[in-house]
Amino acid sequence: MIMLIEKNVTGTTLQLTLQEKADWIRYVELAVDYDFYHSWQYHAMATNGTPILFVYEEAGNFIALPLLERQIADTIYRDLHCVYGYSGPISNLKFEQQPDTLKDNFLNAFLAFLHQGKYVSVFSKLHPFFKQNELLGRTKGLYENGKTIAINLQQAVEEQRKQYRGTTWEGIKKCRRLGYTLRESRKQEDIATFTQLYHSNMGRISAADFYLFDEAYFTQMIHSTEFDCKLVLVCLGDEIACGSIITCTNGIIQGHLIATNVNHLKYSPAKFLVDEVSELGRKLDMKYYHLGGGLGFKENSLFEWKRGFSDLVLDYYSWRYIANEPVYNQLVEKSGIDIQDTTDFFPLYRMTPQ
């Protein structure tokens, strides 16, 4: 049953859970801009919090914000964070076209919801293609995280390739000469092989356990009925050299996850994969192929690798809102973290002391 939080002369506030599947899906599909990260099914796969969809409706318009709720151990308090990926608020109106009254009334309703629910903080990664900062910039906590890279698929492929770094294009052509090919697959044996490749890659960079998605996760993604997800594989003969989980939603391809067979690293088949997926995207009438940013959204070697494909650089923001500053400070102090710590981590009280 939908929880009606408040109804007054200005609007109605709702809190949906996974039990309200049809309503969750309806709000997402009514949004003028959304990605698979906002979907009910993707939230249903989350294991690190209880999914909710906060909705504010007014005069036939709405703003909704999907989040995951977590209890803060040994306290009466909770906090909110987002799923892995780019989510943030959605609406039936472009954020830059919303009336100021709708924005302000949504924010007032959401802040009241935070107070009533004893939520200490909110963390949400925003979507680089949607101007969500037009809304959240009216509050404290909008944070410039860095940059992400995307390929514009609306230009001719010849123009796209002119933007490639020389070494990027040479690597792609070499893979073609060697006989690498791209194929899609939904076979369980291929999903299993990709899972092994992915875990091997994560082990190589000592990734946190959170990023070690298992075969069941990839299977659910690829067989999703709520969004279009594909496993694309680069092969040399019968051997899988590289693979990626991609999604296609509202004209945007997301390069969700990628992994390369260590035996093929020297040929960088991932470059070939990106070029081939960009061609696939055109056949599917996609407008952009979003490659994402660097590790931790810093302009590091991964960022530079992606930068080798495109001149289209997007600003990336997160929303890091402290709803109860006295309690937030107490929790940080209790955790043993210095409140002045400049580590790029939020909320600080959940960071493991070094």
pLDDT in tens, 206-258: 666 767 789 999 999 999 999 999 999 999 999 999 999 999 999 999 999 99
φ, ψ (nearest 5 deg) of residue 220:
-60, -40
pLDDT at position 3: 59
pLDDT at 16 over 70: yes
Residue 294: predicted pLDDT: 75
Q: What is the pLDDT of residues 299-336, one digit of tens each?
A: 778 889 999 999 999 999 999 999 999 999 999 999 99
pLDDT for 207 equals 65
Taking the C-alpha atoms of 235, 239, 242 and 248 in order, what is their torsion angle to the nearest 10 degrees?
60
Task: Categorize the per-residue pLDDT at 1 as very low, low, confident or very high, splitting at 50, 70 and 90.
Answer: very low
Phi/psi of residue 299, nearest 5 degrees:
-85, 70
341 or 279: which leads in pLDDT: 279
Rounded-to-integer distance, Cα 160 and Cα 153, Å: 8
Model confidence pLDDT, tens digit, residues 166-215? 999 999 999 999 999 999 999 999 999 999 999 988 877 766 676 778 99
pLDDT band at 354 (very low <50, low <70, confident <90, very high): low
Please, are residues 303 and 149 in contact by the beta-carbon 8 Å criterion?
A: yes
Contact 1, 19 (CB under 8 A): yes
User: What separation, in Å, do the N-terminal and C-terminal C-alpha atoms of the chain show?
Assistant: 44
Give the burial class of 243: count Cβ atoms within 10 A of its Cβ; 0-12 exposed, 13-18 middle, 19 or more buried.
buried
What number is the average pLDDT over the span 103-131? 97
Q: Which two tokens stand for residue 319?
A: 């929303």
pLDDT reported for residue 7 = 59
pLDDT grade for 343, boundaries at 50, 70 and 90: confident
Strands annotated E in 59-133: 61-71, 78-81, 90-91, 119-125
- What share of the chain has pLDDT > 90, as a percent? 86
Reduced to 3 states, what is the DSSP secondary structure of residue 41? helix
What count of other Cβ atoms lies within 10 Å of the Cβ of residue 185?
18
pLDDT the model gives residue 6: 58
Q: How high is the pLDDT of residue 29? A: 97
Confidence of residue 2 (pLDDT cuts 50, 70, 90): low
Q: Give the 3-state secondary structure of 286-349.
A: CCEEEEECCHHHCCCHHHHHHHCCCCEEEEEEEEEEECCHHHHHHHHHHHCCCCCCCCCCCCHH
Rounded to 5 degrees, φ, ψ at 124 are: -140, 130
Give the model's pLDDT for residue 267.
94
pLDDT, residue 174, reads 97
Instruction: State how beta strands 312-322 and 119-125 pair.
Output: antiparallel
Q: Retrieve residue 133's tokens.
A: 């900062």
- pTM given for the model: 0.93
Give yes or no for residue 9 having a pLDDT over 60: no
301 Cβ contact list (under 8 Å, min separation 6) = 294
**Do the beta carbons of residue 309 and residue 268 sit within 8 Å?**
no
Tell me what pLDDT residue 204 has: 77
- Averaged pLDDT for residues 89-107: 97
Domains of the chain and CATH, by start: 3-139 (3.40.630), 149-314 (3.40.630.30)
